[in-house]
């Protein structure tokens, strides 16, 4: 089973969780790079880029936990 087959069968919850996980990984990678980059600009990158990605990842995760509207039962 290839990657395209797995992404096509993923339900919306899995896709949203995957997106939030990707954003959190990018935030952590940004912060790790900033730890080894000893310049004043690295602090701005840590807060600006890493902080925003971390916030977006957490927000995407929390919003993915909110259930979508279900069709009315009759």
Reported confidence tier of residue 31, pLDDT bands at 50, 70, 90: confident
Long-range (24+ apart) CB contacts under 8 A made by 52-60 are: 53/23, 53/24, 53/26, 53/27, 54/23, 54/24, 54/27, 54/28, 56/23, 57/20, 57/21, 57/22, 57/23, 57/24, 57/26, 57/27, 58/20, 58/24, 60/16, 60/19, 60/20, 60/23
Report the pLDDT averaged over residues 20-31: 92
As a whole-number percent, the residues of the chain with pLDDT over 90 amount to 31
- Taking the whole predicted model, whether its pTM rises above 0.85 is answered as no
**Average pLDDT of span 20-36:** 90
User: Average pLDDT of 18-44?
Assistant: 88
Assign 36 a pLDDT band (cuts: 50, 70, 90). Answer: confident
């Amino acid at each position: 089973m290839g990657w395209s087959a797995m992404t096509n069968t993923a339900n919306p919850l899995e896709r949203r969780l995957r997106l939030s996980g990707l954003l959190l990984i990018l935030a952590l990678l940004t912060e790790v790079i900033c730890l080894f980059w000893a310049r004043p600009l690295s602090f701005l990158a840590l807060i600006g880029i890493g902080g925003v990605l971390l916030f977006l990842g957490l927000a995407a995760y929390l919003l993915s936990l909110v259930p979508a509207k279900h069709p009315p039962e009759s």
